[in-house]
């Protein structure tokens, strides 16, 4: 099957690839391979050195501490969001990522939550409106990422993609979008193509890795070429970021990622949104 260059903007996480290299060299290598670059905690990085690489940065962590629902946590989140915007300006990063609560260095919720109450939903939406206002003033977009509770992030409130979509819809600001992470969504919800369809108008970025193992496409159960065809049929042309480990070699992982998110050249078959999505719905999981 003849393939074209990807119709999407492809990025990759420097936190998870080329781990044998200093961080700035990881950024340089990813950029040399033709990808935009994603980073996590900016406070531990030499931002001037990163800017000097000439890499195009796609996203970075948009807070350092805090949460969406507790009074002290809200103020901490907003304060660190302001500082994150200043850091984003230094490397010209357009998107800043948030979670439902602060995570520790193992990815666990700093304040685990078992039951999210109606009041917490209302408070979270109000906090995110304030975050969106900060983004609007700075001309940058905050994204709210879904996580999974079963494997990586137990106790995180507002973790499901359905939760993040509900909150982003409630705020309804172009300065707050979803970071739709399909690795997490596959573990928590599945039905990835329909999820992309439902969330399409609110997506600021899509992140991917395969399940299980959180490595590059082709190492697990998700048939990412079918997801790519569905997204193309839906008209998505935004960022898709590889937030996954390399199973073996990082160059090979990036090659596999690029190939998964190329799409077949137009041949008259499966090129409309309806036919592409129908095919992809059948094949998106369990290739």
pLDDT string in tens for the chain (287-residue length) = 455 678 999 999 999 999 999 999 999 999 999 999 999 999 999 999 999 999 999 999 999 999 999 999 999 999 999 999 999 999 999 999 999 999 988 899 998 998 999 999 999 999 999 999 999 999 999 999 999 999 999 999 999 999 999 999 999 999 999 999 999 999 999 999 999 999 999 999 999 999 999 999 999 999 999 999 999 999 999 999 999 999 999 999 999 999 999 987 553 334 333 433 334 333 343 33
How far apart are the C-alpha atoms of 210 and 243, rounded to whole Å? 10
* Per-residue pLDDT, 3: 53
pLDDT of residue 265: 58
List, in sequence order, every beta strand (DSSP E) within the chain.
9-13, 36-38, 57-61, 95-98, 141-145, 176-181, 203-208, 239-242
CA dihedral sign, ordered 193, 194, 197, 202: negative
pLDDT value for 105: 87
Q: What is the pLDDT of residue 4?
A: 61
Q: Which residue matches tokens 């994150």?
A: 84
Which domains does the chain carry?
Answer: 9-283 (3.20.20.150)
Contact call for residues 259 and 3 (beta carbons, < 8 A) = yes
The answer to whether 254 and 242 are in contact (CB under 8 A) is yes
Q: Name residues whose C-beta falls within 8 Å of residue 157's C-beta, 6 or more positions apart in sequence.
A: 67, 68, 69, 100, 101, 109, 113, 116, 120, 124, 163
Residue at token pair 């509900």: 166
Residue labelled with tokens 């078992």: 114
Q: What is the pLDDT of residue 5?
A: 78
* 3-class DSSP assignment, residue 101: strand
- Rounded to two decimals, the pTM is 0.90
What does DSSP assign to residue 42? Answer: G
Helices and strands (H, E) in the chain, number of each type: 10, 8
Measured CA to CA, the distance from residue 182 to residue 161 in angstroms comes to 9
């Amino acid at each position: 099957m003849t393939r074209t260059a990807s119709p999407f903007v492809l990025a990759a996480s420097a936190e998870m690839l080329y781990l044998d290299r200093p961080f700035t060299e990881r950024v340089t290598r990813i950029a040399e391979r033709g990808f935009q670059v994603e980073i996590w905690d900016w406070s531990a990085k030499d931002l001037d050195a990163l800017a000097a690489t000439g890499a195009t940065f796609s996203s970075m962590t948009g807070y350092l501490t805090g949460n969406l629902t507790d009074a002290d946590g809200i103020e901490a989140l907003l304060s660190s969001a302001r500082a994150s915007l200043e850091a984003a300006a230094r490397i010209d990063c357009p998107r800043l990522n948030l979670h439902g609560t602060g995570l520790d260095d193992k990815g666990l919720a700093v304040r685990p939550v078992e039951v999210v109450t109606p009041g917490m939903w209302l408070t979270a939406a109000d906090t995110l409106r304030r975050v969106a206002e900060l983004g609007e003033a700075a001309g940058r977009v905050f994204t709210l990422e879904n996580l999974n509770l079963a494997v990586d992030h137990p106790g995180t409130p507002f973790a499901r993609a359905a939760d993040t979509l509900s909150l982003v819809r409630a705020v309804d600001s172009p300065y707050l979008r979803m970071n739709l992470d399909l690795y997490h969504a596959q573990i928590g919800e599945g039905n990835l193509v329909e999820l992309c369809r439902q969330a399409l108008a609110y997506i600021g970025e899509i992140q991917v890795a395969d399940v299980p193992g959180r490595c590059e496409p082709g190492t697990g159960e998700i048939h990412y070429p079918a997801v790519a065809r569905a997204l193309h049929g839906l008209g998505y042309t935004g960022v898709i970021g590889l937030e996954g480990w390399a199973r073996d070699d990082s160059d090979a992982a990036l090659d596999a990622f690029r190939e998964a998110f190329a799409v077949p050249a137009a041949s008259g078959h499966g090129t409309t949104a309806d036919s592409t999505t129908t095919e992809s719905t059948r094949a998106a999981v369990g290739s």
